[in-house]
Structure 1
Amino acid sequence: MPYAEVAEDVRLFYTDDGDGPPLLLVHGWGTDSHQWSWHIDAFAARHRVIAVDLRGHGYSSVPATGNTPRAMAGDLHTLLADHLGVPQAVAVGHSMGAQVVSVLAVEHPERVRGIVAVDPGYGMTADIAAAFPQMIAGLRGEHAHTVAEQIDEWCTNAATPAVIRRWHKRRLHGMPPHVLAEAFEAMFTAPEAIGVRPASDAYLARRRCPVLSIWSDQERARWEAALLRDPASKVVCWEGSSHRLHEERAAEFVHLVERWAGRLRP
């Protein structure tokens, strides 16, 4: 399996399967590219599928600092441009990964043909964000993995199969605690965080590429629809699903993404 040196202290693990228009798959907080095991084979029948472990996650390097969505987006730009020679890709990001691919699209627009944002980790309202400082304090404490598991309970519901619950729980307990804390803080409470409104509105409005956004919450779906600029953009809400909607409804997710991406202009 390939590795790429993308910074002085960062080596990314990735897989590269299939042939066709490139899809870049970007996982969420506290997981890794195994999250896309439900989808890679199906996508690879028609696409070149690049699935990467972000810095601090999975088999990639674990820097002492710098485990932020902005740094992760910079890593992906280097991977695509300098190592894989990919001029443009449709970037698919779940949760924190949706922040990462949005940063990639804003800061390196030439590299992103379109975005698929899967129950994105942005657009949080102030009432939800009020709990984040306490969560971050817990992630920096001596029981970081217990706190991370409690946070992850929000990501599932009765629709989530036990195998998906168990996989994510085990992955969280294998994560370096400082990465969990630093990445969560960088998403929501750090000075440049874009996860909470109105910072989300201002930054995401800068995306000029088409966006397919798939939500489990109708209010947040309506909110993002007002920010999208490209006429090829689309917002979908799968009410009743959990934050893991792309894993719970894998075949439907692949079908939706392929149909939408297939309509994008070269």
Structure 2
Amino acid sequence: MPFATTKDHVQLYYEEAGDGTPLLLLHEFAADYASFEPQMRYFARGHRCITYSARGYTPSHVPDNDADYDYQHMRDDAIAILDHLRIAAAHFVGSSMGAYSALQVALSVPSRVLSLTLSGIGSGFEAERLDDYRARCRAEADEFERGGASEITKLAGLTPARIPFLVKDPRGFRDFHDALGEHDANGSARTMRNFQGARPPLSAFADAISALTLPTLIMVGDEDDACIEPSLFLKRRIASSGLAMFPKSGHALNLEEPALFNATLEKFLALAEAGRWGPRDPRSVRE
């Protein structure tokens, strides 16, 4: 099994397929490397696609200490994958937790990022809801430790933003739900407590986000209530960004709407690679 080693000696399992410009896929909290299979199969036809399981998600290593799960570790893990594979820069495609990490790489070392795709990003964004969001994350982490995999699927698998997936594609949702039930409860608890529940909100990086010039695609489902406002926040601040809102859709867009996700991403990558995804024309901004 292929593994990359991080600076703090965590082993990260990864898979790759295809040749061409690198495409790095970063999964969400309720998923792992395998959740990007619809994208690996499609984009490997023209790109070198890499997906990996974050720390705490088997077959990657599950560190024992809470301090090993903060957002800086998750950011640096993505860079470690590139370093291990000797990739200078890649297109970053992140979902939710993975989108946050992709954005952090772009803010920290933009030279490693060819473009940014941010799907379902920003839960816990609103300042007035942040404390409640963090408290809920801590409570869910405790439940994961007490109840194991069954609590993970109950609390993380049936959130309101996942109901559209269940409604439109019960068979696909069942596969997602079954895979979630295989997660390591301790790894999920530490990730929920220290990454999800402790990371700074996007608003803490407002100035740095406004300075980004990378081609950026933001995708959000119109029934993913927690991520609509943060997606608009990013759209308003990143001059080189575009926003795609998927109708009647929830959180896990790459699984819930794989054909639309792939088509939207494919067009974006083609324009970005051609140098045709530039900043917004100032004349289009309403004063």
> What TM-score results when the alignment is normalised by the length of structure 2?
0.81
Question: Counterpart of 1:79?
Answer: 81
Shift of 1:104: 1.1
Question: For residues 9 and 159 of structure 1, what CA distance do their matches in structure 2 show?
Answer: 37
Partner SS for 1:153: coil
Deviations 1:225-255 (A, max 9, x none): 112133xx21111131011222122122112
User: RMSD across aligned C-alpha pairs, in angstroms?
Assistant: 2.3
Partner SS for 2:272: coil
From 246, 249, 261, give the equivalent of 1:238.
246
Deviations 1:73-98 (A, max 9, x none): 212212212x2111110000001000
Q: Output aligned runs, 1:62-101, within 5 Å.
A: 62-65=62-65, 66-81=68-83, 83-101=84-102
Question: For residues 219 and 212 of structure 1, what CA distance do their matches in structure 2 show?
Answer: 15
Shift of 1:110: 1.0
Listed as ranges, the gaps of 5+ residues in structure 2 are 223-227, 276-287
Question: Counterpart of 2:163?
Answer: 157
Give the AA of the match of 2:22: P
Question: Counterpart of 1:33?
Answer: 33
Report if the CA contact (8 A) 1:140-1:178 is conserved: no
Q: Name the structure where helix makes up a greater proportion of residues.
A: 2
Q: Output aligned runs, 1:6-17, within 5 Å.
A: 6-17=6-17
Aligned residues: 260
Deviations 1:99-146 (A, max 9, x none): 111111111211001110111144622454314313422322413545
From 125, 136, 143, give the equivalent of 2:147.
143
1:224 matched to 2:234: yes
1:264 matched to 2:272: yes
Shift of 1:209: 1.6
> What TM-score results when the alignment is normalised by the length of structure 1?
0.87
Question: For residues 144 and 134 of structure 1, what CA distance do their matches in structure 2 show?
Answer: 17
Percent identity over paired residues? 24
Listed as ranges, the gaps of 5+ residues in structure 1 are none
Question: Counterpart of 2:278?
Answer: none
Question: Counterpart of 1:172?
Answer: 180
Question: Counterpart of 1:110?
Answer: 111
Shift of 1:210: 1.8
Q: Output aligned runs, 1:196-211, within 5 Å.
A: 196=201, 198-199=203-204, 201-202=206-207, 204-205=209-210, 207-211=212-216
